[in-house]
Chain A
Amino acid sequence: QMQLQESGPGLVKPSETLSLTCGVSGGSINTSSYYWGWIRQPPGKGLEWIGTFYHTGDTYYNPSLKSRVTISVDTSKNQFSLTLTSVTAADTAIFYCARQDLRRGYFDYWGQGTLVTVSS
């Protein structure tokens, strides 16, 4: 059974860097069949796609966040990571990692989400 689990600090100071990891079990991230992505949701608000990576090393980012976002992968640990620099209070959100279908682009498996608060 495919499972994803986000981990990382729940509190980050303004102007600092947010770093999260998504551990995957029940399947390999080094697969040609799927993308792997990050989505966030500010408390009480809607969903925003942050970015996605493919096993070839290709990465795709939301243009509104592109200058501050990096997605990287550690295939030996079957996990991928999100880095968001220069955070502000507006970056406070629940962050989800998810598996994304290669052809149709839907997200079919999601982590439970982790709340990251940006505050001093």
Chain B
Amino acid sequence: DIQMTQSPSSLSASVGDRVTITCRASQSIRSFLNWYQQKPGKAPKLLIYGASSLQSGVPSRFSGGGSGTEFTLTISSLQPEDFATYYCQESYITPRGTFGGGTKVEIK
């Protein structure tokens, strides 16, 4: 089974900060990596698919990078509505998929 490890598990940041979250896979998953944002009481929302493709309607301050085993999600300038928990998900052997443990982005 493919294991997904996110870091950090939580972070504190201020509005306007640049934030980067890392997701590591236990084996190469090429670019089959997706990112989601989840706010309290809500379903996850797809942000990035295929490691770096921005889902329609998602602000351009979100970007994804990486391939193989190491991936990043970057928020270029953190906005108040971005405080949430972020999850990565591998989909190398679709439709099977494993999620990372999540990264909670909190207000400093």
Contact = CB atoms under 8 A, between A and B. Distances in A.
Contact of A46 (B34, B49, B95, B100): B100
B94 A46 contact: no
The interface centre, meaning the residue of A46, A48, A62, A112 with most chain B CB atoms within 10 A of its CB, is A46
Interface string A85-120: 000000000001010111111111011110000000
A110 B43 contact: yes
Contacts of B101: 46
B44 interface: yes
Size class of the B contact interface (CB-based, 8 Å) = 20 to 34
Contacts, number: 73
B46 to A, nearest CB: 5
B102 A46 contact: yes
Contact of A49 (B45, B92, B97): B97
A80 interface: no
Interface residues of A, number: 27
Contacts of A49: 89, 96-99
Nearest to B100: A46
A100 to B, nearest CB: 6
Contact of B87 (A46, A62, A113): A46
Interface of A: 35, 37, 39, 46-49, 52, 54, 60, 62-63, 96, 98, 100-108, 110-113
25 contacts: A37-B95, A46-B87, A46-B99, A46-B100, A47-B87, A47-B89, A52-B96, A54-B95, A60-B96, A63-B1, A96-B44, A100-B97, A103-B94, A104-B34, A104-B49, A105-B89, A105-B91, A105-B92, A105-B97, A106-B34, A107-B34, A107-B36, A108-B49, A110-B43, A112-B42
Given A47-B99, A60-B96, A107-B34, 11 more contacts: A46-B101, A49-B89, A62-B96, A96-B44, A100-B97, A104-B49, A104-B91, A106-B46, A107-B89, A108-B55, A110-B43
